[in-house]
Amino acid sequence: MTDIKDVFASNLKKIRHAKGLNQAELAGKAEVSKNYIGFLETARKFPSSEMVQKLAQALDIDPTELFAKEIDVQKVILATQKAVYKEIGTLIDRTVSEIINTKVAELEELEPVA
């Protein structure tokens, strides 16, 4: 039988790597120390339910993924890429809107040609 601490530790590390984060970056997002992340990833400590939730939010995953016996790292990577592409799309839309609004404002300030 597989120990839940070992499953959690392995999944945390795999998902962190799949998200492209180092221990310090994950620690910052979850508001814990880098050492604590290291202890979790080596199964020397086990998190409270509140900490599991914070870690899941920091990794942008469902908390149950941290306890899955089989984890699909490709699925995690694809979900991350999808979120990044969506964010890029939002930024592009916002930038284009700002450029259009600026140009419209500039045109409105021009003197009409007689």
Model pLDDT for residues 85-111, shown as the tens digit of each residue: 888 888 898 898 889 988 888 888 877
Counting as low any pLDDT under 70, the low residues of the chain are: 1, 114
What topology does CATH give the domain 4-109?
434 Repressor (Amino-terminal Domain) (1.10.260)
Burial of 28 (0-12, 13-18, 19+ CB in 10 A): middle
pTM: 0.66
Q: Mean pLDDT across the chain, nearest whole number? A: 89
Q: Is-contact 76 20, C-beta < 8 A?
A: no
Question: What is residue 1's predicted lDDT score, i.e. its pLDDT?
Answer: 52
DSSP letter assigned to residue 42: T
Q: Is-contact 61 76, C-beta < 8 A?
A: yes
Question: What is residue 52's predicted lDDT score, i.e. its pLDDT?
Answer: 97
Question: What is residue 114's predicted lDDT score, i.e. its pLDDT?
Answer: 65
